[in-house]
């Protein structure tokens, strides 16, 4: 039997409120620029491209009544995250592992940027997932090699900042290179942030942003995580010509960047929903990082402390956790966090929790139907034991999906068409 219905309904309602606060359809239009003298070139990439692109089209075609002949572009989203568009072609590509469609999307975006004139405006609608959706291998690197590197880095426990530091050295579009392609045309990026701290150069590997990291930093990431690279990639990390454009580069003087949706807004909306449900919200921050199991253990200790004090409260947090994979199971950071949390709480009465990715999928095999996370309550471990599930063994095997799937406690909202990282809520009601 799944998590008790009233608690599950409360937790999922809180999660929905967090997601709604980050929907680009609500936040994008006020930031859209006026039409340039020349053409408007819209380049959209990431998990929110399916919502950002139609919103931009409606603004220019309907509200401003712009001649469609003055607008061109291309959009790319994760498979299953696309949406019908009226003018801008929509491509669906691989995530988290790129595919041939990712290469096609990047090639078309680069060609459009390179063809922009000084009177045109390149409008980049960017969101998390863009790193995998825009793939332009540099040097002799092949798509198959990029895919293999992506897989091993995702399993290594490297943070998103570390992963993107390496990605920028292997690409012709990341790390400010899309902006270089558009020069001297002006380029404006409107972004949905999915990274801790909202650092622009990390979002989708910063294709239009100056990059302060270096080739040496990338090599240090590879060494720190013991990652073996093919010769084609190792040579790029050693090539000074693959260094990214730095702050102050004159070729980026006509590039501007603006964040239109942030994780902190989603966490604030979750806090409001918790308060409305009768829980005192306690925010642990919107930008948490770290190993999912370690963070879960710390959060369990805080929840148990509040429980002993007799407080009816909600612990709320965001950010992006990581998993160092050593097993053969299925899962993702949010599901692993939830399983580790259940074990750390050990069936404590009056505590229930949800951990989910606001984009609608958490790890998994890259399908739009993958779960976003999971729910737990005081009965989770007892129900698992009754079903013959060994929670500790499944956590050790990184099989959190298998665990929660058997209990019926997976969170499966489907594609949300936004992406502001994770939303974790622990309800304590002594």
Q: What is the pLDDT of residue 3?
A: 84
Tokens for 69, please give them. 């002949």
DSSP assignment, residue 117? -
Q: Which candidate, 403, 347, 339, 407, places its Cα nearest to that of 377?
A: 347
**Collapsed DSSP state (helix, strand, coil) of residue 62:** helix
Distance CA 176, CA 227 (A): 25
Tokens for 128, please give them. 């998390």
- What parts of the chain have a pLDDT lower than 50? none
Distance CA 274, CA 375 (A): 16
Segment holding 281, helix H or strand E: strand 280-283
Distance between first and last Cα of the chain: 22
Whether the CA torsion 93, 98, 104, 108 is positive or negative: it is positive
Which residues are within 8 A (CB) of 300 and not within 5 positions of it... i.e. 6 or more apart? 341, 344, 345
Domains of the chain: 5-19+264-428 (3.40.1480.10), 23-136+171-210+245-261 (3.40.50.10180)
Task: Give CA separation, 114 vs 44, 90, 105, 184, in Å.
Answer: 16, 20, 14, 9
Find tokens 């501007």 and name the residue. Answer: 256
Q: What is the pLDDT of residue 1?
A: 57
Residue 102: asked if its preceding bond is cis (omega within 30°), the reply is no
Distance CA 335, CA 197 (A): 23
Helices (DSSP H) in 59-204: which residue ranges? Answer: 100-114, 130-133, 143-155, 160-167, 177-182
Segment holding 334, helix H or strand E: helix 333-345
Distance CA 378, CA 368 (A): 30
Q: What is the pLDDT of residue 45?
A: 98
């Amino acid at each position: 039997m799944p998590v008790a219905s009233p608690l599950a309904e409360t937790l999922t309602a809180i999660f929905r409120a967090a997601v709604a606060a980050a929907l680009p359809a609500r936040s994008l239009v006020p930031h859209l620029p006026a039409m340039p003298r020349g053409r408007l070139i819209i380049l959209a990439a990431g998990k929110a491209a399916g919502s950002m692109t139609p919103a931009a089209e409606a603004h220019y075609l309907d509200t401003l009544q712009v001649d469609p002949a003055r607008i061109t572009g291309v959009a790319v989203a994760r498979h299953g995250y696309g949406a019908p568009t009226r003018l801008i072609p929509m491509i669906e590509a691989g995530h988290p592992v790129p595919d041939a469609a990712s290469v096609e999307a990047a090639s078309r975006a680069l060609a459009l940027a390179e063809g922009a004139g000084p009177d045109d405006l390149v409008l980049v609608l960017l969101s998390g997932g863009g790193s995998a959706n825009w793939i332009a291998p540099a040097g002799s690197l092949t798509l198959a090699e990029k895919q293999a590197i992506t897989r091993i880095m995702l399993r290594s426990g490297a943070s998103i900042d570390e992963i993107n530091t390496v990605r920028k050295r292997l690409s012709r579009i990341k790390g400010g290179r899309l902006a270089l392609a558009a020069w001297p045309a002006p380029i404006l990026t409107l972004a949905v942030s999915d990274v801790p701290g909202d650092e622009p150069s990390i979002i989708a590997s910063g294709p239009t942003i100056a990059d302060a990291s270096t080739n040496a930093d990338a090599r240090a990431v590879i060494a720190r995580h013991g990652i073996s690279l093919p010769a084609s990639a190792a040579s790029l990390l050693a090539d000074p010509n693959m260094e990214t454009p730095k702050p102050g580069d004159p070729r980026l003087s006509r590039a501007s960047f603006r964040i239109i949706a942030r994780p902190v807004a989603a966490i604030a909306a979750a806090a409001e929903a918790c308060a409305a449900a009768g829980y005192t919200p306690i925010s642990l921050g919107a930008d948490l990082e770290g190993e999912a199991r370690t963070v879960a253990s710390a959060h369990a200790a805080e929840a148990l402390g509040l429980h002993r004090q007799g407080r009816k409260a909600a612990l709320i947090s965001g950010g992006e956790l990581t998993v160092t994979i050593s097993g053969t199971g299925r899962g993702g950071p949010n599901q692993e966090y939830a399983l580790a949390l259940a074990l750390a709480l050990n069936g404590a009465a009056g505590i229930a929790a949800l951990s989910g990715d606001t984009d609608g999928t958490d790890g998994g095999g890259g399908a739009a139907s993958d779960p976003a996370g999971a729910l737990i309550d005081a009965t989770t471990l007892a129900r698992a034991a009754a079903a013959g599930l060994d929670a500790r063994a499944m956590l050790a095997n990184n099989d959190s999906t298998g665990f929660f799937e058997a209990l019926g406690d997976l969170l499966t909202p489907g594609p949300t068409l936004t992406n502001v990282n994770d939303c974790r809520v622990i309800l304590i009601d002594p």
